[in-house]
Amino acid sequence: MIIFTKIIISNKMSQEIDKNILKTGTTTLGLVCKDGIVLAADKRMSYGGEGGVSLVAGKHAQKVVPINDKLVVTTAGVVSDIQLIVKLIRAELRLKEIKSKEESSTAEAANLLASLVYQNIRKFSPFLGLAHFLTAGRDSLGFHLYEVGADGSISKIEDFVASGSGTVLVYGLLESEYKKNLTVEEGIKLAVKSINSSMKRDPGTGEGLDVYTITEKEIKHVLEQEVETMFVNKGK
């Protein structure tokens, strides 16, 4: 009976994740390029109801977040969970660096983040903890992109990945326009085009976008643009 109860709870949690992750009002994406990684996200913060997005809660959200000088994540999910996990991963990586006197590889950092997400969704709480991250970084082995799912799973991405309510809209474009050996400059243009396409149809995506690049030289915030600015520039 105990085993059966555990299976029911596990299935219910899985159903809740499936039901809520696509309701997460955002579009985030990551592209693997031959000379780096491109991460992008929109800037709308929304409250969701049973029918999806019910209120635009903010228009200047920063959903692409540097963790340190070699690691960046995109964020989707419940804001309080995201903020706590970001604080924890920063602290844990810094503590490990102090103790071992070595920097963590991207794989180590991504696995640590996955462990924190796993603990978050399985904590005892009346509310489902929900946080999803795309994690990109560089180390001695090169550039890497990982998806850390809301259930604590981790997947290494070899080409592209997207998350949030605009995922379906973005994947169609990425499937047709992404190519191997894409340069970072080409990746930036594709990322902007993808987020823009999502903003046109997805109510949870909007207000503008942020784009970060991870290259051998640096992590750089290459673009921050609001919808009004984009429209003005388009009209000129």
Q: Tens of pLDDT along 44-93?
A: 987 665 545 567 778 889 999 999 999 999 999 989 999 999 999 999 99
Band (130; pLDDT cuts 50, 70, 90)? confident
Threshold 0.75, pTM exceeds: yes
Helix residue ranges, H only, 53-105? 79-100
Contact predicate 212/31, CB 8 Å: no
**Domain membership flag for residue 159:** yes
**Domain membership flag for residue 9:** no
**Domain membership flag for residue 3:** no
Contact predicate 33/180, CB 8 Å: no
Residue 26 appears among annotated catalytic residues: yes
- The string of pLDDT tens digits covering residues 175-213 is 999 999 999 999 999 999 999 999 999 988 999 999 999
Which one, of 31, 34, 38, lies nearest residue 181 by Cα?
34
Strand order of the β-sheet with 64-68 is: 64-68, 71-77, 131-139, 142-148, 154-156
CATH number of the structural domain spanning residue 66: 3.60.20.10
Catalytic, out of 24, 26, 27, 106: 26
**Domain membership flag for residue 229:** yes
Q: How many domains does the chain have?
A: 1
**Domain membership flag for residue 19:** no
Range(s) of the domain holding residue 200: 25-235
**Domain membership flag for residue 7:** no
Which one, of 85, 107, 63, lies nearest residue 198 by Cα?
63
Q: What is the pLDDT of residue 5?
A: 31
